[in-house]
Each structure stands twice: as C-alpha cells, then as structure tokens.
Amino acid sequence: MKMEMGLFQQQSLKLAMTPELSQAIMLLQYPAMELTAFMESKALDNPLIEVETGYQSSSRGWSQGDMSWIHQISDERPDLHSYLKGQIPFKEMDTHEQRILNYMIDNIDDNGYLRLTYEEINAVFPVLQTEWEMAKSILQTLEPAGAGAESLSDCLLIQARRDDNESALLNVLLKDYFTAFVEKKWKELSRTLGVSVVEIQRVFDQIQSYNPRPGAAFGSERSQYSVPDVRVYSSKGKLVAEIVESSRVRIREFAIGIEGQHDEAAERYMHQKRMEYRWLQKAIQQRNETLLHVTYAIIEKQLDYFLTGKSDSIKPLVMKEIADVLEIHESTVSRAVRDKMIETPFGTIPMRMFFSSSLQTDQKADASALKVKKEIEKLVGSEDKAAPLSDQAISDYLKQNSGIVISRRTVSKYREQLGIPSSAKRRRY
C-alpha cells in the first residue's frame, strides 16, 4: 500500500458550545423567578436593558395593580426568643433569676429545645442547682407549650401536664421506654408493664395531638410563592396555553442618546450592548416558544386531566414521547419542564407531575405510577386497622381487582414515598 504525506481540504459541520448557546440552554431551564433574577443581573451590566416586573401582557393574567394588595401583608413575625422573653415580666422573679432565665432562652434552638446544661451555664456565671431547676420549671410554663424541653419525650410530657392528661402509664412510657414505645413494640411493653396493648395505644393516640417541635411556628424562613410559568385555560370550548410573563425585557430609550456622538469607544461599547440585548430578547422568545410547544404536547397527551382535574386520570408519559412528537432532543424537554409550574383550571401544579412511568396491566392501557399510588392510598385508607394489609396483600389485590401487575417491592417503594408506615405500625388494637 502506497503511503505519502500531503495537504488536503475537507469540509465538516460541528456544533460548538459558545457562551451564547450555553446561556440559551440555561434560560430554557430557568423557572419564572430565576429568569427574572437573571435578567435583572443583565440589566445591571447593560445600560440598554430594562426589566419590567409583574404580570403583564397576559390576556387572562393579573396586572401589577391587581396584585398590589399582597405587598401590604406584613411579613414581620416575632422570633421564638423574643416571644419567650416577652413573657418574663409577668413572672415573679428577682434580677439574678431573670438573668438565668434569659440566658437559658438564648440557648433554645429553633425547634424550642433547651441546648444548655447546668455545667455549661455554671461555667459562665455561678448558679446554684436549685436556681437552675427553678428557672427551668418557669421556662417550661411559658408559651408555646413544650418550649424549654431537653428532649422529645420531655417535650411531650410537658404538654401532657399542661393539658392535665398526665398519667402514670404515660410517665413510664415517655421516661423509661420511649424508644420501644414509638417503635410500636407494644406487645413486649404490655408483658413488661403488665398493662393491655389497648391502654398503650390510648397513650399513643393522646400524644399524636401534641407538637414535637413547639418552636417551629416561629421560624424565620420567608414564605415562598410559586409563580406559574404557563397558564392553561378554556376559551370557546378549546384549551389555550400562554406564557405567564412575570418579567419582561425592553430597551431603555435614554441610553440610545449615547450613540451618534462620534466616539469610537462609545460606539463599539453601545454596539456590543445592543447585540447582547437583541440576543437576550431572541433567547427569551425561543425559550417561551419551546415551553409553549411542550405544553401543548402535554395537553394533547393528558387531555383527560385538563378536562376533569382528576390526578388519577394522568396517563403514563415519558419525555421521549414529547420529544418525538416535537422532533427535539429529550434533554430539551427535560430542561423545559424543570422546576416549571403550570396554572390549570384546577390549580397550579409542577409540570413534571404529568410525566409518570407506566406499569403493566392485563388490560389494553397501562397504568401510571401516580394512579397506582392513588390506589394504594385508597386501599390503606379503607383497610381494617386491626388487620392492615401487607405489601404483598396490596400487590395481590391490585392484580385481582384493578388488573395492575406490580411487585411487593414496588408497593413498598411507593408506600414509603407516600409516607405510609408498614402494616405492623399501622395496626390498631
């Protein structure tokens, strides 16, 4: 074979990941709030870009004026420490006792539990054991009930005392056998304590009404509001989808005056920023068009839900089906629905809820995982609590009565996702 060196020309096409393309991909996966934050960061760097926030240019949406009332709702809430300290003046205490109590309140965590020991406070300033116990007893009389407890069992016991529901059995169970009690090893406890399982169950039912985290209501987290990205509504007998524009990019007119001043550096700068502005407008328009196309494809596949609003009417659907219909890549569909919310006539829900794996049935159509979860919830809700259904019994029931072929392991997985305990822990005596 003859081999020789030479120079040859060859044409080829390849896709380069430019910064603009990378940002366009990011824009597609941004939900409404993140998109607004991104555009505002761009507006700080580009004098041509101005961001208008609020629901605008939406034929069925809210205007900024319609939402003005929501900004007048107070977001100020007293924190747990201030709330507890505000009750101290109503207690008969001297200055030293108030100092001890204030220091104890400063060492209460966000859940309302006291994270301080006698040895730790005594290392800061001298405190007698009797003074420590007195301050702790006063602390545990403050609102909310259960605040100042040193453990979960202590917290529940304080609330039982506050309700005058403390009993000898409750004391023993919470103080000496708490782990076995909450793990529902009631038959062992029944033999050990010489009481019936029914009595233990009554104590368990009693503490179910108590708050294990009394300080959680005073959390400092701000409320998070879900802003829909797409709105679907019925118009003249047809389902219509539209983009909910919580923010909009437009050009600042005053910045245009910088151009035309015969300054080459200024001209280059303004040309670069104008190109950036045009690219941003185009990228947002492309994002919105892709999102609309995906939404209409979802409506076509999940029409029963948009007509009835019943979650069990959602059919099995994978992203590849939407990608094949729209002739785009599956990853594009994934980015389009990532963290997005859709406003329907039946409420605002995540777009990912419409994608559910299929499970085999002995009927023509397969069942979605969402539908199977609803069936499991329904079965557990109507079961005999004295003899709850095991995972295998649920699997057998679904196969015989609903034609859904599902293994015991899958039932167990779905049950855990739904927060339903095992049959042993659902049993009532």
Pick from 163, 182, 215: which residue ends a domain? Answer: 215
Mean pLDDT of the chain: 81
Neighbours of 321 (CB within 10 A): 16
Q: What is the pLDDT of residue 45?
A: 85
Reading the block at residue 334, the tokens are 């994934």
Q: Answer yes or no: is pLDDT of 251 > 70.
A: no
Where does the pLDDT of residue 15 fall: very low under 50, low under 70, confident under 90, or very high at 90 and above? low
Ramachandran region of residue 74, left (φ > 0), alpha (ψ -120 to 50) or beta? Answer: beta
Domain CATH for 379: 1.10.10.60
Q: What is the pLDDT of residue 115?
A: 92
Query: CA separation (Å) from 131 to 98, 122, 232?
Result: 11, 11, 64
Query: CA separation (Å) from 266 to 50, 89, 159, 256?
Result: 19, 66, 71, 11
Encode burial over 340-354: b for 16+ CB neighbours within 10 A, e otherwise. Answer: bbbbbeeeebebeeb
Q: What is the pLDDT of residue 64?
A: 43
Chain-centre distance for alpha carbon 7: 60
In a domain, 156, yes or no: yes
Q: What is the pLDDT of residue 61?
A: 42
For 140-185, what is each residue's pLDDT tens digit?
999 999 999 999 999 999 999 888 878 889 989 998 999 889 888 8
Domain encompassing residue 199: 80-215
Between the two ends of the chain, the Cα-to-Cα distance in Å is 89
Q: What is the pLDDT of residue 14?
A: 73
In a domain, 403, yes or no: yes
In a domain, 73, yes or no: no
Q: Which residue has the higher pLDDT, 401 or 186?
A: 186
Could you tell me which residues come within 8 angstroms of residue 232 by beta carbon, excluding any fewer than 6 positions away?
A: 239, 240, 241, 295, 299, 306, 342, 343, 344, 345
- The CA distance from 108 to 84, in Å, is 10
Q: What is the pLDDT of residue 114?
A: 92
In a domain, 91, yes or no: yes
- The CA distance from 230 to 243, in Å, is 5
In a domain, 241, yes or no: no
Encode burial over 266-292: b for 16+ CB neighbours within 10 A, e otherwise. Answer: eeeebeebbebbeebeebbeebbebbe
Strands 341-344 and 230-235: parallel
Closest CA to 399 of 356, 363, 357: 363
Q: What is the pLDDT of residue 359?
A: 59
Q: Which residue has the higher pLDDT, 257 or 136?
A: 136
Q: What is the pLDDT of residue 108?
A: 92
In a domain, 379, yes or no: yes
Percent of the chain with pLDDT strictly greater than 90: 15
Closest CA to 23 of 352, 276, 323, 294: 276
Q: What is the pLDDT of residue 63?
A: 42
Percent of the chain with pLDDT strictly greater than 70: 84
Pick from 182, 215, 248: which residue ends a domain? Answer: 215
Phi, psi of 317, deg, nearest 5:
-150, 135
Strands 230-235 and 247-251: unpaired
- The CA distance from 48 to 250, in Å, is 8
The domain tally of the chain equals 2
Closest CA to 57 of 246, 240, 238, 228: 246
Pick from 179, 196, 215: which residue ends a domain? Answer: 215
Q: Answer yes or no: is pLDDT of 295 > 90.
A: yes
Q: Answer yes or no: is pLDDT of 303 > 50.
A: yes
In a domain, 344, yes or no: no
In a domain, 220, yes or no: no
Q: Answer yes or no: is pLDDT of 253 > 60.
A: no
Query: What is the arithmetic mean of pLDDT over 68-78?
Result: 55
For 321-343, what is each residue's pLDDT tens digit?
899 999 988 888 998 888 888 99
Reading the block at residue 283, the tokens are 């990228």
Reading the block at residue 305, the tokens are 């839900």
Rounded to the nearest 5 degrees, what angle is found at the Cα of 285, between the Cα atoms of 283 and 289? 115
